[in-house]
Every structure is written in structure tokens, then in C-alpha cells.
Amino acid sequence: MKTIDELLAEGVAGKRVFVRADLNVPLAGTTITDDGRIRAVLPTVKALAEAGARVVVASHLGRPKGAPDPAFSLAPAAARLGELLGAEVAFATDTVGESAQAVVAGLGDGQVAVVENLRFNAGETSKDDAERAAFADRLAALADVYVGDGFGAVHRKHASVFDLPAKLPHYAGYLIATEVGVLKKLTDEVQRPYVVALGGAKVSDKLAVIDELLGKADRLLIGGGMAYTFLKAKGYEIGNSLLQEDQIPAVQEYLERAEKNGVELVLPVDTLVAADFPDLKTKAPANPTAVAADAIPAGQQGLDIGPETRKLYASKLADAATVFWNGPMGVFEHPDYAEGTKAVAQALLDSPAFTVVGGGDSAAAVRILGFDETAFGHISTGGGASLEYLEGKTLPGLAALED
């Protein structure tokens, strides 16, 4: 993989450099609640700008449906990037259209622009190779060189991640180089016991990863939205909790295999429930109740692990030598459902283990809940990406940078 240092050595002054970043930051309206992913790409953007490149930054944000949707605009992220750089950042109101072309044409050496959300274009995420390639051609027309630095999205076979690098000279940015360096150590020489804690809301993506992890980790702790599919697979009622019904047979097989292979697969023993999803804007008290994992009442949904599970998971992390954690244990954005996530973060800090926390929301949770991020071994900007890397999969966005 050629790195940005090689590009800088070759010289980039006056060249249009397309930086595929992951600026998929958590937003409350148009307010960024955690700017970690923007800070993470600063070294790359700064180095290119200082070397006189004309920097075109592109990213997805959220999961819009292939058409413009103001709720997912990158405008707040572009403004924040400008503040962090201490420089004007131009913003194009489309991704490859007239606005983007004009903004890129207007860039001077050392200047930076952000184009609008890549996923406002159906070609970005299309499963059709030709449709993706056609969109990648339009992206390629904006630049002379490609720098991949959106680590959080390298597991996606998307036009800007996979197809575009093949069309331009391509290099890995500093963030990708750092992330891969740390995760490689975890796969090559993991110290045991190796404990993986999984939670979050992207249940279908992450359940699939457990298949491989059962052959790698010594212990798996399950929390967040994915826990309820496990509880359902054990035959418990889960009310209105998140459920990935089509994966119940797979999860039942995981439970059996874990037992056979001597992998400890630990599920919540209790959970916080309420009738409604909490209001994350007003943060009005949600008044949840704690119930046993096999006693979730009909009409209620599980929104965090309960107090007994917090203690149990802390004890299961205490003797770990290596911990990988992806996915909040509950809806941490609301104070009534933040205790499970806090308990796991605290247990990681209390343990002597080498700890990696991965995922946009997991990393944000650690910072928003007031933990010192430097106290963790590594905070990865990618959740799904780091999980799939640890699984040993070939990630499209890394493979594309490799030839």
C-alpha cells in the first residue's frame, strides 16, 4: 500500500487530491455532538494542504436513500473542518454536479473543499457494478489523485471506497495507516484472555461477525440492541426490543457452537425497559424499570443492560489481557440509558488489558460520557470496519489501495 508520505515526496502542489474521509459524525439536528472523526482526518488534510494540493474532501453521512436529504447534509461537518483547520473550507451543495465542479475549479493551491454527502447519489452504494463505476467516473473527473482515509467505511464496497481508487493514482492516508497498524497487532499477536464486547444498533451487520469471532475470542459479551435477538433465540419474550428475526436460527447455532468450543458467550441477565424510545432532544426523564432478561413485559423495549449485567460484564472484563469493544450497551445518548455503556468503559479502564474501542458511536460515547480517551489503548474510528478486519476479511477499501 502506498502511503501519503510517498505522495508528498512525489509532490502534490497544484494537484487536485480527492480525500475519501469518514465524516459520519453524530448529529443532534445540525449540531455535531462529537467531532472525533473530523479530527481524525486532520493530519492528512493538513499535510496535503500545506504541500500545496487542492484538497477535495468527500464522505457519507448517515444512511440517506440515494437522493438528497437535508437531514444528512455534510454542511455542519464542512464548517467544523474549517474551524479545526483554521482556514476557509468551501462547500459544494452537490457531490459531482455543477456546484462541485465549480467549487473544485475555484480551489487555489493549498485550499480545501468538501462536497455534499456521497450517499445522496444512488451510484455510491449500488450493488450494480456498472452503476457504481459510472458514479466513480464522475468522482474521478473531480481529481488527479486519490487518498483513502475513511477507515470507518473501508468495509463497504461503495463507489468512492472501492471503484474510484482504481481510476486514479491512489494512496492511504495517515488515519488508515494508523488504524491498520494497531489492528494488525491484534490479529497477529493477541494476548489472551481475549474478550470482545459487542453492542450497538447495527444488529444485522454485527451478528454476522460473531460467526468468525467464535473461533478467535475467548469470551464474548453481548449488549446493546443485538442482545435481544439472542434472548429471543433462547426462547424469551422481548416485547418491542430490537430484533433481527431472520437471524434467530444463526444465533441459536452460535449459542450451541460457543458451548461446544468452550467460548464463553455472555448475555445480559437483566435489562432496562420502557414503553417508549426516549426523547433524545429534550432528554426528558424516561423512568425505565430493570427487569430480568427472561421477564421483559409485552409492549416494553430493552434500552440498556441492567445493574446486575453491569456487574457481571465488569467481572468478565477484569481478567482480560486484550479487549475489543464495539457498540454502546444501551441508548447512551439519554442519561437514563447510559449506565451500561459507562460501566463497560470504566471496566476497560480498570483492567490492565490492551483495550481497543471501535465505532463512530462507541468512540463518541466514551468522549461524551467524560472518559479520557487517551487512557484506552486505541480508539478506532470504525466499528464495522474494525470488526471485519479482526475477522480476517478482505476489506474492499483496503484491497483497492493495495495494488
Ligand X SMILES: Nc1ncnc2c1ncn2[C@@H]1O[C@H](COP(=O)(O)OP(=O)(O)O)[C@@H](O)[C@H]1O
With respect to ligand X, which residue has the nearer C-beta, 224 or 396?
224
- Amino acid in the structure at residue 320: A
327 binds ligand X (CB under 6 A): yes
Residues 6+ apart with CB under 8 A from 223: 197, 198, 199, 268, 305, 309, 313, 327, 328, 329, 330, 340, 344
With respect to ligand X15, which residue has the nearer C-beta, 104 or 153?
153
Binding test (CB under 6 A) with ligand X, winner from 60, 202, 219, 316: 202
CB atoms within 10 A of CB 84: 16
- Smallest separation, CB 386 to ligand X15 (Å): 8
The rounded distance, in Å, linking the Cα atoms of 178 and 184 is 10
* Residue 291 phi, psi (nearest 5): -130, 160
* Residue 9 phi, psi (nearest 5): -65, -35
Tell the residue number behind the cell numbers 483497492, with chain if given.
400
- Amino acid in the structure at residue 124: E
Query: Is 37 assigned a catalytic role?
Result: yes
- Smallest separation, CB 190 to ligand X (Å): 21
- Specify the 3-state DSSP secondary structure of 257: helix
The rounded distance, in Å, linking the Cα atoms of 15 and 367 is 36
With respect to ligand X, which residue has the nearer C-beta, 27 or 190?
27
Q: Which does 132 bind (CB under 5 to 8 A by kind): ligand X15, ligand X, none?
A: none
Binding test (CB under 6 A) with ligand X, winner from 111, 244, 322, 326: 326
CB atoms within 10 A of CB 369: 16
The reply to whether 359 sits in an annotated binding site is: yes
Q: Are strands 270-274 and 264-266 parallel, antiparallel or unpaired?
A: unpaired
208 binds ligand X (CB under 6 A): no
The binding track of 351-390 with respect to ligand X, each residue x by CB under 6 A or -, is --------xxxx--------------------x-------
Tell the residue number behind the cell numbers 443532534, with chain if given.
28
- Smallest separation, CB 51 to ligand X15 (Å): 27
Q: Checking phi first, is residue 128 left (phi over 0); if not, alpha (psi -120 to 50) or beta? A: beta
Task: With residue 368 as reference, give the H or E element that holds it.
Answer: helix 360-368
Query: Is 384 assigned a catalytic role?
Result: yes
- Smallest separation, CB 180 to ligand X15 (Å): 16
The rounded distance, in Å, linking the Cα atoms of 348 and 323 is 8
| C-alpha grid cell, residue 220 | 464474548
Binding test (CB under 6 A) with ligand X15, winner from 26, 123, 165, 359: 359
360 binds ligand X15 (CB under 6 A): yes
The binding track of 199-228 with respect to ligand X15, each residue x by CB under 6 A or -, is ---x--------------------------
Binding test (CB under 6 A) with ligand X15, winner from 152, 223, 225, 302: 152
Q: Which does 152 bind (CB under 5 to 8 A by kind): ligand X15, ligand X, none?
A: ligand X15
With respect to ligand X15, which residue has the nearer C-beta, 53 or 196?
196
200 binds ligand X (CB under 6 A): yes
Residue ranges for the known binding site for substrate are: 22-24, 37, 60-63, 119, 156
**Applying CB under 6 A, which residues contact ligand X15?**
22, 24, 63, 152-153, 156, 202, 359-361, 382-384
Residues assigned a catalytic role: 37, 202, 360, 384
